[in-house]
Amino acid sequence: MSKSMNFKINHPDINIEKRQQIKQWMQQCRAATLALFEGIDYDTFCHQAHPDFSPIGWHLGHIAFTESLWLLERCAGMPSIFSQEYRRLYAADGLPKTERVKLPTLEQTCDYLDKVRTQVFNYLEIAPLDEQERLWRFLLQHESQHCETIILLLKLQYAAAINRLIKTKSNYQLPITNYPMVEIPAGEFDMGNNSIDALDNERPRHRVYLDSYSIDQYPVTCKQYREFMEAGGYQNSKWWSDKGWQWLPENSVTKPLYWIDNSAWDNHPVCGVSWYEAEAYANFVGKRLPTEAEWEKAASWNPESGRCSTYPWGEIILDSQLCNNNHQIWQTTPVNAYPAGKSACGCYDMLGNVWEWTSTWFDRYDGFVSYPYPGYSQSYFDGKHRVLKGGSWATRAWAMRCSFRNWYYPGVREILAGFRCVSY
């Protein structure tokens, strides 16, 4: 890889369209990132809204730092524009989260973003994409994932900002008269993803056999979950695992974190529940949470062709008619609002709206190879994180596909998560 930004290409650039596409994606992603900070004051910028998460301003600076580290320093061989102090501040393994509250201003942080991005786009003109394209796509997803974290932190600490952005058009109701289950026949399917977009924990694609099972056509709705609450679900230990029942009083939980006690939300998916709450509800209705493989087969497998697709609806790139994503609306939508986006098996809302808990512990697939560094996924193969699938209303398109894997501790409820069930 060239150490000089003045390197001349002496042969036709076969990657010119690819360079243009990556640049366009990065510009679109960054514009959406910066829009999140419009009107944000310095206190909000630096405030740690929850002990498990860094301030929103840290996430913005970390985006610039990571882009500079991988593309400019490690690929282009350029010196860092970040001082040692700032490197320690913005590195993922640097300061503890509680010490990330003394930050440069928004204006200063945006200046870092601009300086890095200018050099990145200069380097993009000569970068050997045949070798590096996967890394560029990884960084696009990296920014997208941090922006979803920024959104949930805004939701936690700055509700007024979220309420201003909610679009009233999403408040319509489509009547749901029953909550059917979809039967998935026994057989093999291809799980995981080998595409250039796939993160290391999605690889390699592999064949999995599953016995037949039935899965909820929709995520569990607020109306359904209210029945659990009104039946004393949070007060009766019979529905809870031992760890869940211990977690409940320790966290003073009596309802989902983002619960709105209004029947207008009946058809929306329940949002802001921990894995323990999802498990308790499943026990209450005599069902269970799906395994990751069961969820992914219902989302991606086409029983007619016998093949799997990137998205539930096929290979068509996401748009606003297929699912609720990319913080277009800033809230959930009714679970049956996107019929064009249902899977070939007949399940709705498999992508977007809310992340969905599964019963699976996050772990490597056979043949796993870490990328771009061991700590990205490998550090979390500890038997303490449950897999979530599907994305939420805040997830950007670059980080959405049936094979995408999210992971959190089972007691976390700040993420925009719901669930669906399968029958025994």
Q: Is the pLDDT of residue 160 over 80?
A: no
Q: Is the pLDDT of residue 424 over 90?
A: no
What's the pLDDT score for residue 14?
75
168-423: CATH topology is paralog of FGE (formylglycine-generating enzyme) (3.90.1580)
Arithmetic mean of pLDDT over the chain: 93
What's the pLDDT score for residue 159?
61
So what's the architecture of 16-165 in CATH?
A: Up-down Bundle (1.20)
- For residue 33, what are the CA distances in angstroms to 41, 102, 161, 358? 16, 21, 15, 29
Which helix (H) or strand (E) segment holds residue 301: the answer is strand 301-302
How far apart CA 7 and CA 368 sit, in angstroms, is 35
- For residue 123, what are the CA distances in angstroms to 72, 115, 119? 8, 13, 6
Q: What is the largest distance, in Å, between two alpha-carbon atoms of the chain? A: 73
Q: Is the pLDDT of residue 4 over 70?
A: no
Q: Is the peptide bond before 204 cis (omega within 30 degrees of 0)?
A: yes
What's the pLDDT score for residue 172?
47
Give the pLDDT band (50/70/90) at residue 13: confident
Give the pLDDT band (50/70/90) at residue 169: very low
* Helical spans, DSSP H, in 125-194: 129-157, 159-165
Q: Letter for the amino acid at 130?
A: D
Name residue 357's beta-bridge partners.
388
Q: Is the pLDDT of residue 267 over 60?
A: yes
For the stretch 275-309, pLDDT in tens is: 999 999 999 999 999 999 999 999 999 999 999 99
Q: Is the peptide bond before 372 cis (omega within 30 degrees of 0)?
A: yes
Q: What ranges do the domains of the chain cover? A: 16-165, 168-423
Q: Is the pLDDT of residue 177 over 80?
A: no
Q: Is the pLDDT of residue 164 over 70?
A: no
